[in-house]
Amino acid sequence: MIKKILLLSLYVAAFSACKKDSQGGEQITAKDDAAFSLYEEHFLDDLWKQNPDWATTVGYHKYDSLLVIPSDKNRDQAIHFTKTQMDSLSRFDLSGLSEPNKIDYHLIQNQMESMQWSMEQLKAYQWDPSSYNVIGTFAYILNEHYAPLTKRLRNFYQKMAFIPAYYKEAEKQIKNPVAELTSLAIDQHLGGVSVIETDFADSLKKTNIPAAEQKLMLERAKVSAEAIKAFAAYLKALKNDKPRSFRLGKGLYEAKFKFEIQAEASAQQNYNSAVERKKYLHREMTKLSKQLWPKYFAGKPMPKDSFQLIAQMIDTLSAKHVAPGEFQSAIEKQLPKLTAFITSKDLLTLDPSRPLVVRKEPGYMAGVAGASVSSPGPYDKEGNTYFNVGSLVGWAPERAESYLREYNQYILQILCIHEAIPGHYTQLVYANKSPSIIKSALANGAMIEGWAVYAEQMMLDAGFGNNEPEMRLMWYKWNLRSVCNTILDYSVHANGMTKEQAIKLLTKEAFQQQAEAEGKWKRVSVSSVQLTSYYTGYKEITALRDEWKKKKANAYKLKEFNEKFLSYGSAPVKYIKEAMFVVPKIDTKGN
Ligand code: ZN
Ligand code: ZN
């Protein structure tokens, strides 16, 4: 998992800022890259003005003090904005642009179409109360050290002024909301209000802002916290006789998949492919378990049922794990080993000048993932990249044991590959070398997650873990998780899979613990499509690598593929593919 606080506030619009690019003497008619770059600059500033919360979290801080009221009028303006941008784009000849600019063009176009579709078709602003949570950005302003504290607190204060009107408007917009999303919104608002109520006050004490000003700031925080709690109370009391189902349905699901994943295949095709992959993994896992059985269960009869056989092998191997207090240091020790392995096998060039900092997960992001990478935003290339590791301090022994069995000695190594080297962290270092704000801001999640999963397999294929069957079996289990995420997400949202069927799939066929399966059910009932990004990206990158290998034949080098692939930034795999296979233009007019 990669933690980038992407607040895609799709329905918001700020102060009617749609400039017509054709006005004011800046006629963009040229088909060249210089004109396109100029357009991009315009586009970005307009985009951030329209979406100040999103801007804050990518490191663009000009609009930190703003919060856009989710009114009909502002939504109309946002739709108008997307139409204006599509109109501007249509004046460029795509074939006249460089490969990197072509990708940017596609990304902007997709983003505009996606925003329009969200506002006009999906209409989550009506049925998803959790889409109104403003607290994340306030927490970001408070906790990220991009500017002096005093300045951040003053922006925080100004931004708070919009909170009461914001929630008043939110109440007007909500109609027959999804029950699961309503209770999620209640939890998030009541759980997060401490950012406004106490964390802000605590931070104020650390500054020398004059007492009189501080008093005003605290008063406004009080009013804001009350508005947030009132919204939660409103949701609790809401009479909702005909709640909308949390299931998206086939039509909306396909469309959302198209905009978010930007894959070559449809959601349905992707689901079919995941079902095949699951069968393949089960076959391979059965073979490996049979092979390993005598080593761990000498003399004992082997279970006839292959799922039982695999489950017993995995259970036994999971007992190899670190002690609770050694989790972070085990990760720290792992990283130089990964670097050394990659260098010795010549898999790709690593840049030692951008260090990865392993740290205890900061309190304000604690919760879901045991480990994650947080990267600097596109406007903050000098910022650190962190490997956030959740601490097990204070956990009940039983809970810690279950967690450590999950992240056992094998999976812990795979986790480090995925999150760090050559997974997310390495990919980010490469992405930051391709100087495109568009590609960072509109980063494709399927490419990012797909690369991390692809990297796991690439390392194992190169012999990482001494080709031990134990390591391969455990990776298959881990890979099965991505595959089943895809199957689950599509089945639940497009095919009406029940909770009982879902739990059975995850526990019996993906060998997950009951608690993990229950957590996944909760996630799939409050989100859609994102869970498919891991497998979809992995599948597309692997297919692209195979195609590249075929084309290059004897001249094929894995290192060359890896570096070339990463050089285009966090773009959808299908566009990277287009760029990689481009035929050089021959000037037919000249000689
Ligand atoms: Zn990930
Ligand atoms: Zn144990």
CA–CA gap between residue 533 and residue 370 (Å, rounded): 19
Question: Whose CA is closest to 34, among 101, 108, 105?
Answer: 101
The DSSP line for 179-226 is HHHHHHHHHHHHHHTHIIIIIHHHHHHTS---HHHHHHHHHHHHHHHH
Burial of 539 from C-beta contacts in 10 A (0-12 / 13-18 / 19+):
buried
- Give per-residue pLDDT as tens, 157-179: 999 999 999 999 999 999 999 99
Distance 374 CA to ligand 2 centre (A): 29
Distance 452 CA to ligand 1 centre (A): 6
Closest ligand (CA of 320): 2
Report CA 235 to chain centroid distance, whole Å: 28
pLDDT at 436 exceeding the cut of 90: no
CA–CA gap between residue 408 and residue 401 (Å, rounded): 10
Closest ligand (CA of 531): 1
pLDDT at 5 exceeding the cut of 50: no
Distance 482 CA to ligand 1 centre (A): 10
Distance 1 CA to ligand 1 centre (A): 3
Those residues whose C-beta lies under 8 Å from the C-beta of residue 372, and which sit 6 or more positions away, are: 1, 2, 3, 361, 365, 387, 388, 419
Distance 321 CA to ligand 2 centre (A): 6
Distance 411 CA to ligand 1 centre (A): 14
Distance 406 CA to ligand 2 centre (A): 10
Asked if residues 457 and 272 have their Cβ atoms less than 8 Å apart, the reply is no
The confidence score (pLDDT) of residue 516 equals 86
Distance 371 CA to ligand 1 centre (A): 10
Asked if residues 450 and 536 have their Cβ atoms less than 8 Å apart, the reply is yes
For the entire predicted model, the pTM comes to 0.90
User: Considering the chain, what is the average pLDDT of its residues?
Assistant: 90
- Give per-residue pLDDT as tens, 568-580: 999 999 999 999 9
331-335, 362-366, 427-431, 498-502: least confidently modelled range: 362-366
The confidence score (pLDDT) of residue 31 equals 56
The confidence score (pLDDT) of residue 35 equals 93
Max avg pLDDT among 358-367, 385-394, 501-510 = 501-510
Distance 88 CA to ligand 1 centre (A): 35
CA–CA gap between residue 266 and residue 254 (Å, rounded): 7
The confidence score (pLDDT) of residue 21 equals 37
169-183, 192-206, 422-436: least confidently modelled range: 422-436
- Give per-residue pLDDT as tens, 286-334: 999 999 999 999 999 999 999 999 999 999 999 999 998 898 899 999 9
Distance 402 CA to ligand 2 centre (A): 8
Distance 296 CA to ligand 1 centre (A): 32
Report CA 590 to chain centroid distance, whole Å: 47
DSSP reduced 3-state for 387: strand
Confidence of residue 19 (pLDDT cuts 50, 70, 90): very low
Strands laid side by side in the 385-389 sheet = 356-360, 385-389, 371-374
The confidence score (pLDDT) of residue 359 equals 87
Asked if residues 8 and 54 have their Cβ atoms less than 8 Å apart, the reply is yes
Q: Half-sphere exposure of residue 367, counting CA atoms within 13 Å on the CB side? A: 8
- Give per-residue pLDDT as tens, 366-420: 554 467 888 877 887 777 888 988 888 888 898 889 889 989 999 999 999 999 9
Asked if residues 437 and 37 have their Cβ atoms less than 8 Å apart, the reply is no
Distance 397 CA to ligand 2 centre (A): 10
